[in-house]
Amino acid sequence: MDDPDVPQAAISDVPSTFGDGVVLLDVREDDEWQRGHAPQARHIPMGDVPARLAELDADAELYVVCHVGGRSQRVAQYLARNGFRPVNVTGGMLAWAGAGRPVVTDAGNVGTV
């Protein structure tokens, strides 16, 4: 089966706040998430996405992010095949942090990418 084309979003086109139908899905591993993530992001590691699809709102504007954009592209293609309309975040969390956007830990401290 062909992978559907997934829209790409430069970091400048990604919202900076999430909630109410706009979701930033972080698909990095637990250790990467714990070092730092975007405020309000949802964390579902790449390998857990198939088992946790029900946690995602199919009607939401869904931005998928990883470290630099490779894993999130694969997850976005999977989501698109399963009825979602995801957007891959080009450059991932490196681009997010590079644009000066906040990176936090679960404790609310300043995080790192």
pLDDT of residue 16: 92
Domain count, the chain: 1
Residue 5 pLDDT level (bands cut at 50, 70, 90) = confident
Domain contains 104: no
> What type of residue is 29?
E
78 within some domain: yes
Could you tell me if residue 85 is inside a domain?
A: yes
Task: Give the per-residue pLDDT at 12.
Answer: 97
Q: No. of H helices and E strands in the chain?
A: 3, 5
The string of pLDDT tens digits covering residues 38-72 is: 999 999 999 999 999 999 999 999 999 999 999 99
pLDDT at site 4: 64
Range 71-78 average pLDDT: 98
- In a domain? residue 3: no
Given a cut of 60, whether residue 1 has pLDDT beyond it is no
In a domain, 109, yes or no: no
What whole-number distance in Å separates Cα of residue 87 and Cα of residue 79?
A: 10
Residue 60 counted as domain residue: yes
44-62 exposure pattern, b = at least 16 Cβ within 10 A, e = fewer: bbbeebeeeeeebeeebeb
List the one residue out of 26, 89, 100 whose CA is nearest residue 56: 26
CATH number at residue 86: 3.40.250.10
Domain that holds residue 26: 8-98
39: in domain = yes
- How much is the pLDDT for 3? 58
Residue 43 within any structural domain of the chain: yes
Q: pLDDT tens-digit profile of 81-113?
A: 999 999 999 999 999 999 999 999 999 999 999
As annotated, the active-site residues are: 66
